[in-house]
Chain A
Amino acid sequence: MKTSTEDKDSTQIVFTRKGMLQGFIKCIPLGLGVFAYGLVFGVLAVQAGMSPLQAQIMSLTVFAGASQLMALELWATQLPVLALTVTVFAVNMRHLLMGAAMRDWLVRLPPGKTYFSLFFMTDESWALSVKEMASGNKDAGFFLGSGLCIYFFWNSATGLGATMFTLVDRLFADPAVLGLDFAFTAVFIALLIFFWKGKSQVPVWLIAGMVAWIVFLLLPGKWYIILGGLAGGIAGAIKDA
Chain B
Amino acid sequence: MLESSGFIFAAAIVLMTAATYITRAGGLFIISRIAPTQRLQAFLNHVPASILVAIIVPSLVDKGPAEFIAAGSTAAAAILTRNLIISLLTGLICVSLLRTLIF
Give A residues with C-beta under 8 Å from B.
Answer: 5, 26, 29, 49, 54, 57-58, 61-64, 67, 71, 77-79, 81, 84-86, 88-89, 92-103, 106-107, 114-115, 118-119, 121, 123, 127-128, 130-131, 134, 178-180, 182-195, 201, 204-205, 208-209, 211-213, 216, 224-225, 227-237, 239-241
Contact present for A130 and B48 (CB under 8 Å) = yes
B101 at the interface (CB under 8 A from A): no
Bound-state CA distance A49–B26 (Å) is: 32
Task: List, in ascending order, chain A residues with CB within 8 A of B59's CB.
Answer: 184-185, 188
- Tell me whether chain B's interface is mostly helix, strand or loop, or mixed: helix
Mask: chain B, 11-52; 1 = CB below 8 Å from A; 0 = not: 111011111111111111111100001111111111111111
User: In the assembly, what is the distance between CA of A192 and CA of B70, in Å?
Assistant: 15
Contact A61 B95 (CB under 8 A): no
Which residues of B have CB within 8 Å of A93? Answer: 23
* 27 A-B pairs (CB sep. < 8 Å): A67-B16, A94-B51, A98-B27, A98-B51, A100-B31, A101-B27, A107-B28, A127-B51, A131-B48, A178-B96, A179-B96, A183-B88, A185-B59, A186-B87, A186-B91, A186-B95, A190-B84, A190-B87, A193-B79, A204-B50, A209-B56, A212-B53, A225-B54, A229-B54, A232-B49, A237-B43, A241-B42
Contact A182 B70 (CB under 8 A): yes
Tally chain B residues at the interface, Cβ within 8 Å: 71
Distance, CA A78 to CA B44, complexed state (A): 42
In the complex the two chains form, what is the Cα distance from A52 to B59 in whole Å? 31
A236 engages B53 (CB within 8 Å): no
Q: How far is the CB of B79 from chain A (nearest CB, A)?
A: 6
Cβ contact within 8 Å between A188 and B52: yes
